[in-house]
A and B are shown apart, each in its own frame.
Chain A
Amino acid sequence: MKRRQWHELRPDLVEQIRRDLAANYPTLHLSLEGRWAEVRGTFPVLGEGGRVLDRFQIRIILAPDFPRSLPITFETGGRIPWTAARHVVEHSGAACVLLPDERWKIFPVGAPLLDYLRGPLHSYFLGQLVVEAGGKWPYGEWGHAADGILEFYYDTLGVRTPEAVLRYLAALKRPKLKPHKACPCGSTRHMADCCLVEIKALREKIDAQTATESIEYIKKEIQRRELLEVRTSQRRTGEMLMRVAGQAVGL
């Protein structure tokens, strides 16, 4: 049986989005005509006193599991290059607006779409204007892929290794916490006697799916680093052997 999409289950949310867009972003509208629900039109980057500084043509896909899933935004005017440096996915053109793990701080699940438009999306396009003019991302940028995820968890958890972050994420991913298990902080104490309260609080903010996706990113990064180490070591060994062989010939 075909799974029903959010807009079929939540007509109230459809109405709320339409009302909010009409009142605050009249050049955007919600369309339910395609395969997925999407917001289309032009997004104004606003300056002082609501002055429109510039506009970007956009399309925001609200996937079937919205509002749990993040909106997926595309700049459709062909203005922003599809490069990681401009925070656009190269193969699809999707805008990398925010780090999913950080979502709870700025656009938590259930928050109105308006919060996404006014917050991260506005920052994103304002940043694009600055970068387009030759400047740097005005509020900084997360490292790409696993680097950004690790930076975020290093800041949030105060740990310093990918392995430690993975232990925490495993605790976020689990359907149920096991307090008698070792604490992910690495203290060797039981979670119940150590960081249980903090981890419970984190589970309220970062859901299991986000944690699972971040685990995948970090594991891939660990594999990449390991492969790089093996290759570096092989190269060094090869160079050493060449030197030894050269010296032997010289003798």
Chain B
Amino acid sequence: MNKNEYLQEILEEQTFESSDQEMKDLRRRRDDIKKLLLEKFSGSTISIRWGGAMAKGTMIRESYDGDMTSYFEHEDTAAGESLSDIFDNVAKALEGDYIVERKTSALRIRDKAYATRGTDFHIDVVPGRYTDDTKADVFIHQNGGSKERLKTNLDVHIDHIKDSGVVDAIRLMKLWNVRYGAGAKTFVLELLTVKLLKGRKGKDLSDQLEHVWKEFRDNAENLSVEDPANPSGNDLKPALDACRWSLSSIARTTLSKIDSDGWESVYGPLKDEEESKESKAAAIHVAVSSATVPTRPWCGEK
């Protein structure tokens, strides 16, 4: 197997089928949330659809989330006058059934049921309001950012990634980012990858990835990206500054590992499809019995 075949296999491992339980759970949960919001804001027309990796086709198994829009119409004030009110009221509407974690612009949904409390449903609800009747641009609320609201456009984002011709490279970059904890926000990493691979669509995957890493390694200080939906209004520099050093440092290590030990040292060996649950359980059992420092967990809460 050559390096590009290996990378394709890695991508295959990271791909969800529509029939996978995780996807079924995401769809079921989305339907529940949709029903809840439509009941709560019954007089409103809410645009509820998948955004993020699900819509862009960049999802990876190792770290997956379903971003779900909850966009209200331009003149609609049923969920609140301001964007901050909309954010809070959508959160409150969900809090009856879920534990809701308020993130920068999204609401992370967790299980509230006693027995499974705290289970992450891998869904972020993103409340917002269309800027006008064309239902294209949206204002979303921002917690703790430099601005309280941000103009965005989901379709522009989706098209920018889908039409880039480098979705495979983006997915492998996402996997690298997660696996090595580079800390880049997914949106920023996607834009960086598209920008750096401009004119390199036809290259092999391995060439594309090496090119991006070389840019990270050698040119980290000069990396820049802009939001295609809001080039002047959404300053992504702080988000990039927060990971510039890590991207460069991990890219350096990655490239040197490829040189010395090959691609498998970056993404790991391919999974053994034959491995059964029983053999994994047996391997865990052996690991448990051979631990050198067995320790007991504690919890500061009851």
Query: A interface vs B, CB < 8 Å?
Result: 22, 26-29, 31-34, 39-42, 45-48, 51-53, 55, 57-59, 77-79, 81-84, 86-90, 95-100, 102, 106, 115, 118-120, 122-124, 126-127, 129-130, 133, 137-142, 144-145, 147-148, 217
Contact = CB atoms under 8 A, between A and B. Distances in A.
Interface stretch (B117-125, B134-142, B143-151, B158-166): B117-125
Nearest to B269: A52
A113 to B, nearest CB: 14
A126 B118 contact: no
Given A47-B284, A48-B283, A129-B284, A42 B178 contact: yes
5 closest A-B pairs by beta carbon, nearest first, are: A40-B181, A82-B118, A78-B120, A41-B181, A119-B293
A82 B298 CA distance: 14
A138 B117 contact: no
Nearest to B288: A138
B295 A126 contact: no
Contacts of A148: 298-299
B224 interface: no
Contact of B301 (A28, A53, A106, A145): A145
Contact of A90 (B116, B117, B286, B296): B117
B295 A119 contact: yes
A96 B244 CA distance: 31
B1 interface: no
Main secondary structure of the interface of A (DSSP, over half): mixed
B97 interface: no
Interface residues of B, number: 50
A123 B293 contact: yes
Nearest to A115: B293
B290 to A, nearest CB: 7
* Residue from A31, A118, A126 whose CB has the most chain B CB atoms within 10 Å: A31
Interface stretch (B29-37, B41-49, B194-202, B249-257): B249-257
Given A29-B249, A141-B296, A141-B297, 13 more contacts: A29-B253, A34-B242, A48-B287, A77-B62, A96-B299, A123-B294, A126-B288, A130-B284, A138-B288, A139-B291, A139-B294, A148-B299, A217-B300
Contacts of B63: 57, 77
B79 to A, nearest CB: 26
Interface of B: 62-63, 65, 99, 110-111, 116-120, 122, 178-183, 241-246, 249-250, 253, 257, 265, 268, 280-281, 283-284, 286-288, 290-302
Contacts of B301: 84, 89-90, 144-145
A133 B284 contact: yes
B297 A127 contact: yes
Contacts of B302: 84, 144-145, 147
Q: Which of B120, B243, B284 has the most CB of A within 10 A?
A: B284
Contacts of B183: 31, 33-34, 40
Nearest to B284: A129
A126 B181 contact: no
Given A78-B122, A126-B288, A41 B180 contact: yes
Contact of B294 (A42, A96, A138): A138
B288 A52 contact: no
Contacts of B116: 81
A57 B111 CA distance: 20
15 contacts: A29-B250, A31-B181, A40-B183, A77-B62, A81-B116, A81-B119, A88-B118, A90-B117, A99-B298, A119-B293, A123-B297, A126-B287, A126-B288, A133-B284, A148-B299
A144 B183 CA distance: 32
Contacts of A99: 296, 298
Residue with the highest number of chain A CB atoms closer than 10 Å, among B120, B287, B300: B300
B280 to A, nearest CB: 7
A142 B245 contact: no
B181 A87 contact: no
A112 to B, nearest CB: 13
A51 B287 CA distance: 10
Contacts of A77: 62-63
Nearest to A97: B297
B178 A98 contact: no
A81 B297 contact: no
B275 to A, nearest CB: 10
A130 B291 CA distance: 14
A140 B241 CA distance: 43
